[in-house]
Structure 1
Amino acid sequence: MANQNEILNSSKAPEPVGLYPHACKVGNLLFLSGVGPRERGTKKIPGVELDEAGNITSYDIETQCRSVFQNVKYILEDAGSSWDKLVDVTVFLTNMKADFATYNRIYAEYFKDNQPCRTTVEISSLPTPIAIELKCIATI
């Protein structure tokens, strides 16, 4: 029996900023595209202040982390999975030195009962003015 890929989009998570789905189901695995902290239906980014040119003037990594985790939950639930079924999480931070300790503390709150594999990397920027993005794999 061949695996059939099923494209899935959440009605609650923010709209993708490019041509990609929120998730793709392959067999009993769910692969999530990169998920940031934006809110659905708006360009508002929780915890981010921008100047008139769209440059970040300040940001709150804790607010962004909590928003990203909520968006991941939306996608998982809309796809028939759940937070406790996450098996792998890749985290992209734009400022490891300033943000890792806060992110790591919040991560521990959300993942105390389920501990998926995790990789955290620092990158220079993301496509929108955000400081964190998650890439996840879960089971269904």
Structure 2
Amino acid sequence: MSSEKFDSQKAPEPVGAYPHARKVGNLLFLSGVGPRERGTKVIPGVELDENGEILSYDIEKQCHSVFNNVRAIVEDSGSSWDKIVDVTVFLTNMKADFKTYNRIYAEYFADNQPCRTTVEIKSLPTPIGIELKVIATI
């Protein structure tokens, strides 16, 4: 089965050798998407020290940013928000951030409720608190 790669001009550039998304059949698989802003290393709600270590972060700002980045990739790839069928969420601090993330998630997915898995991990490749892995239909 053939596949096609997609890269959004609205979402932040990947931090490695991978596309934003890949279409296989009528499914769209997104690579992990974080809250960074395109063209910069700015992470909404994150304050770093001179060594790049996190001084403080606002998970609410990160959630809104990551959901907007996912939407940009999904739409630029020919799908839409309502066609998201599965979401895997990676949080670096489940105890502190889950309640806020869960509330914001419910706002974004009020009409379309995809399957969801949320896991806590020790860290992500950049100083972020949340990353999403998404599957949608096209």
Shorter-normalised TM-score: what interval? over 0.9
Cross-structure match for 2:96: 98
Is the aligned partner of 1:135 residue 2:133?
A: yes
Cross-structure match for 2:39: 41
Letter in 2 for 1:114: N
Residues 33-86 of structure 1, C-alpha deviation per residue, up to 9 Å, x if partnerless? 000000000000001000000000000000000000000000001000010000
CA distance in 2, matches of 1:62, 1:44: 15
Cross-structure match for 1:69: 67
Letter in 1 for 2:76: D
TM-aligned CA deviation for residue 131 of structure 1: 0.1
Cross-structure match for 1:120: 118
TM-aligned CA deviation for residue 96 of structure 1: 0.1
TM-aligned CA deviation for residue 89 of structure 1: 0.0
TM-aligned CA deviation for residue 21 of structure 1: 0.2
Q: 2:25 aligns with which of 17, 24, 27?
A: 27
TM superposition score normalised by structure 1: 0.98
- Give the number of aligned pairs: 138
SS in 1 for 2:18: coil
TM-aligned CA deviation for residue 125 of structure 1: 0.1
Runs (4+) of structure 1 moved beyond 3 Å?
A: none
CA distance in 2, matches of 1:6, 1:20: 12
SS in 1 for 2:133: strand
CA distance in 1, matches of 2:11, 2:108: 18
Q: Which runs of 5+ in 1 are unaligned?
A: none
Q: Which runs of 5+ in 2 are unaligned?
A: none
TM-aligned CA deviation for residue 98 of structure 1: 0.1
Cross-structure match for 1:79: 77
